[in-house]
Amino acid sequence: MTRFPNPLRLTILYIGLALARLGLIDRERAIRTTVLAWPRIITGIARMSKSAVDVAMVGVAVGTSAVAGVGFAGPFWGLAFAIGGGVAGGTIALVSQRYGAEAYEELGLAVRSSTLLVLVISLPVLGLFWTFPEEFISLITNNEAAINHGATYLQYVALGIPFAGLNLVGSRVLVGADDSYTAMQVRAGGAVLNIILSAVFIFGLDLGVAGAAAGTVLANLAVTAGFAIGLSYGTLPGVGDFPVKIDPFGSYLDPETIRNIVKIGLPVGGRNLVWVVAEFPMLGILNIFGENTVAAFVIARRIWGIMNTPGWGFGLASSSLVGQELGQNNEQLAEAYGRDIIRFAVATYIVSAIVIALFADQIVVLFADDPTSAEIPIATDLVYAACVAVVFQGVAGAAAGPLDASGDTNVPFASQFIGMFLGSIPLAYLGATTSLGYWGLYLAFIAETTIPAAINYWRFRTDKWKSISQTYRPDAAVADD
């Protein structure tokens, strides 16, 4: 498979090679990590850019209330990624270890079981959001205009929840099988399609927030179809060969496999759910500041999402590479990959933060129909705070990679919970109710990442995750002991 050079890949590679020359990481591991990480980062940038562009187009076409409404609907849509991400967390742990051990029958069983779990969990959620969208949005705000826009967006985007979950599973299968490039082609292609469809629906057909939702649903459907065809036939026209081929007619109900996916994936889903759940009180707190602050926060979080995309690549690269080495019982090399990727991720995050900070003013104004809007300066300051916080996210995300690969997913869940509910939200509330003001929001950003970074890195250093991984290693690896 041809992996053509591009500026992002070269930038990441140069950062890795520079660290290798300084003796901070191993050169070969830097190269292998880059090969696996950069396509996932591209996917993340494409998806987060899609989300940011959606908000920008809605802001330009409809106004501040629509941006706030989409923001209020965001936590509910985030359930798709909490559900799918939880199941996918179990998927990548099992797939990477089985791929490393060449236990392909067990690998296929893990993929089919993951698919079934996503559908069983997500379809009832779809039904609730389709039936009661206004009631859900009203839980957060009493702003009538924002409720109307948010309910419209939520009702239609809910149709994409099962597809979004399945796409996460499909992506993790490929990454766990050492091929993030193909996953990038499928998912980034879907993100580009999403932007095109949203632009047509929002501006061409004047559908407003409903158009943004429709673009998201159709794009996710297309990506799901791509993964289904590629994994079933081992190849996808226009994309190329997949690293594994899964028999779609095999067993979906293996109790042990489902139990392992749930046991590993439940804390991962809980970790994803922490932010989704935390958004409800956070948006309620922001509502105290006013509509402009809500819109500013939504803008800042979209930019934060783009800044955080290196973590997607390094976290999944760590999960895959560490998992493959664990599957072959190479625990020392698994630890070495984890350690090097943490250092690699932090260096990359520093570069990303500097670039965004230098152009924060120019980036923020793209999200409003009026450059003098009241939310612009608020959003700019929040972006500066995010630039500081995101460096610690590099530690938190990369240190969680080996823990996820080993099945030791409870600690990253706990660290995210503590960071959000004992750090970030209390600080934001103090900002809304005391003279601390906006500094509470700035400190909330930083607490959200520094606390998980400290806890996840401590856990990685304990080596406990290595012994936990032995519970989930494939039969082939156990037999080699």
What single string gives the DSSP state of each residue in 382-403? HHHHHHHHHHHHHHHHHHHHHH
Closest CA to 404 of 300, 318, 345: 318
> Quick check: is 481 in a domain?
no
The two tokens of residue 322 are: 């560490």
Q: Quick one: pLDDT at residue 47?
A: 63
In the Cβ-directed half-sphere of 365, how many Cα atoms lie within 13 Å? 6
> Quick check: is 392 in a domain?
yes
Q: Quick one: pLDDT at residue 204?
A: 80
Q: Within 101-207, where are the H helices? A: 104-131, 133-138, 144-157, 161-176, 180-199
Residue 14: how many other CB atoms lie within 10 Å: 12
What H or E segment, with its residue span, contains residue 236? Answer: strand 235-236
Q: Quick one: pLDDT at residue 168?
A: 85
Residue 434, pLDDT above cutoff 80: yes
CA 206 from centre of chain:
30
Please give the tally of structural domains in the chain: 1
Mean pLDDT of 446-464: 92
For the stretch 36-52, pLDDT in tens is 787 777 776 766 666 66
The boundaries of the domain holding residue 455 are 7-474
What H or E segment, with its residue span, contains residue 292? Answer: helix 291-307
Residues with Cβ within 8 Å of residue 396, at least 6 apart in sequence: 311, 412, 415, 449, 452, 453, 456, 457
Phi, psi values for residue 48, rounded to 5°: -70, -35
**Range of weakest confidence among 70-79, 238-247, 407-416:** 70-79
For the stretch 346-381, pLDDT in tens is 999 998 899 899 988 888 887 766 666 767 888 889
Q: What percent of the chain lies above the pLDDT cut of 90? A: 17
Residue 125: how many other CB atoms lie within 10 Å: 18
If DSSP codes are grouped into helix, strand and coil, which group holds residue 178?
Answer: coil
Q: Quick one: pLDDT at residue 139?
A: 78
> Quick check: is 1 in a domain?
no
Q: How sure is the predictor about 4, in pLDDT bands with cuts at 50, 70 and 90?
A: very low
Q: Quick one: pLDDT at residue 340?
A: 92
Mean pLDDT of 275-283: 78
For the stretch 160-215, pLDDT in tens is 888 988 988 888 888 778 777 888 788 878 888 888 888 888 888 877 788 888 88
Closest CA to 214 of 227, 196, 188: 196
> Quick check: is 2 in a domain?
no
**Range of weakest confidence among 207-216, 411-420, 467-476:** 467-476
What single string gives the DSSP state of each residue in 402-417? HHHHHT--HHHHHHHH
> Quick check: is 436 in a domain?
yes
Q: Quick one: pLDDT at residue 370?
A: 64
> Quick check: is 480 in a domain?
no
For the stretch 83-97, pLDDT in tens is 777 787 778 777 777
Q: Quick one: pLDDT at residue 478?
A: 45
pTM listed for this prediction: 0.69
> Quick check: is 400 in a domain?
yes
Q: Quick one: pLDDT at residue 368?
A: 64
Residue 476, pLDDT above cutoff 60: no
Q: Does residue 139 or residue 459 have the better pLDDT?
A: 459
Residue 480, pLDDT above cutoff 70: no
CA 424 from centre of chain:
19
With contact defined as beta carbons under 8 Å apart, do 43 and 188 qualify? yes
For the stretch 376-415, pLDDT in tens is 888 889 999 999 999 998 899 889 888 887 878 788 889 9
Residue 307, pLDDT above cutoff 80: yes
Q: Quick one: pLDDT at residue 424?
A: 92
Q: How sure is the predictor about 106, in pLDDT bands with cuts at 50, 70 and 90?
A: confident
Q: How sure is the predictor about 100, in pLDDT bands with cuts at 50, 70 and 90?
A: confident
Mean pLDDT computed over every residue of the chain: 82
> Quick check: is 317 in a domain?
yes
